[in-house]
Amino acid sequence: MFKILKKSFKTGIVTGQYPPAPTGQKISVAPTAQKKAELFRKSLTIREVDTGSCNACEMEMNALASPIYDIERFGIHIAASPRHADALVVTGPVTINMEGPLKDVFKTTPNQKLVIALGDCAINCGIFKGSYAVTGPVDQHIPVDVRIPGCPPRPAEILQALEDLRKS
């Protein structure tokens, strides 16, 4: 017990110890998204859906939950089920095998909902573009509100994008 307390005191507060996101990111926000985002200004619950990414985007999403980024301090939560979500964060090109599950998840998420395409693959299929096993970027299957580019986008950039979306 003493060791645990000692460790916690020694470590102190690490939240915020990360380099700031570079300015001038090319995040694109659909006009309709602003209005929807207003609903979630104080609390936003996210469900992450991987439709075929290389898992680097997942690792950056996971990093957001770490004490360094601590996404919860902004009132952003990560939900275990799409039924509890306000926003879907979709990563990866949509593969032929994941197209069905993606549409199911979209249907299950209650309205109003935001769809955020995270990473180059979700936006334009990236390096996997054209493959027989890829059926298109996310917006070919479900309407996308926000696009955060990067391969993968850094956690600070994702955080910045989510903040901007809700402030505007």
Partner 1 sequence: MESVLNPVEHLQHIFGPAINRVSTNHGIPVVHVHTNQISAITRYLHANEKLRGTLSLLWAVDHRPRDVCYELCYLFTLGESKDWLIVSTDLPGEERLFESITPKIHAANWYEREIRDMFGLIAHGHPDLRRLVRHNHWPKGVHPLHKNFPWNSVLQWRQPPGSVDGQFIHGEGVFEVPVGPIHAGIIEPGHFRFTVAGEPIMHLDLQHFWKHRGVEKLFEQQTLSGGVALAERITGDTTLGHSLAYCQAVEMLWEIHVPRRARYLRSMFLELERLHNHIGDVGGICNDTAYALAHAHCSRLKERVLQLNDRLTGSRFLRGVNCVGGVGIDLSTDQFSELVTELEHIEKDFTELEQIIAVNASLIDRFESTGILKKQTAWDHGVVGVVGRASGIDRDLRRDRPFAAYDELSVRVAGSLHGDVRARVQVRVSEIHESIRLIREIQRMLPDGPLKGDRQVVPDSGAWALSAVEGWRGEILFFLMIGEHEQIHRCKVRDPSFVNWPAIQMAVIGNIIPDFPLINKSFSLSYAGNDL
Instruction: List residues binding partner 1 (CB under 8 A).
Output: 3-4, 7, 10-11, 14, 18-19, 48-63, 65-69, 78, 80-82, 92-93, 95-101, 105, 126-128, 130-134, 151-152, 154
Residues 124, 154: Cα–Cα separation, whole Å: 18
Q: Is the dihedral of CA 88, 117, 24, 151 positive or negative?
A: positive
Of residues 32 and 133, the one with the C-beta less far from partner 1: 133
Q: Rounded to the nearest whole angstrom, what is the least distance from the CB of residue 146 to partner 1 in the complex?
A: 18
Tell how far CA 148 is from the center of its chain. Answer: 8
Tokens of 144: 């996308």
- Minimum CB distance to partner 1 smaller for 39 or for 99: 99
- CB 37 → partner 1: shortest distance, Å? 21
How far is 101 from 3, CA to CA, in rounded Å? 46
The minimum distance between CB 76 and partner 1, in angstroms, equals 13
Q: Shortest gap between Cβ of 24 and partner 1 (angstroms)? A: 17
**DSSP E strands, the chain:** 28-29, 44-50, 76-78, 87-91, 94-95, 114-118, 134-136, 146-148
Q: Which is nearer to partner 1, 39 or 136 (CB)?
A: 136
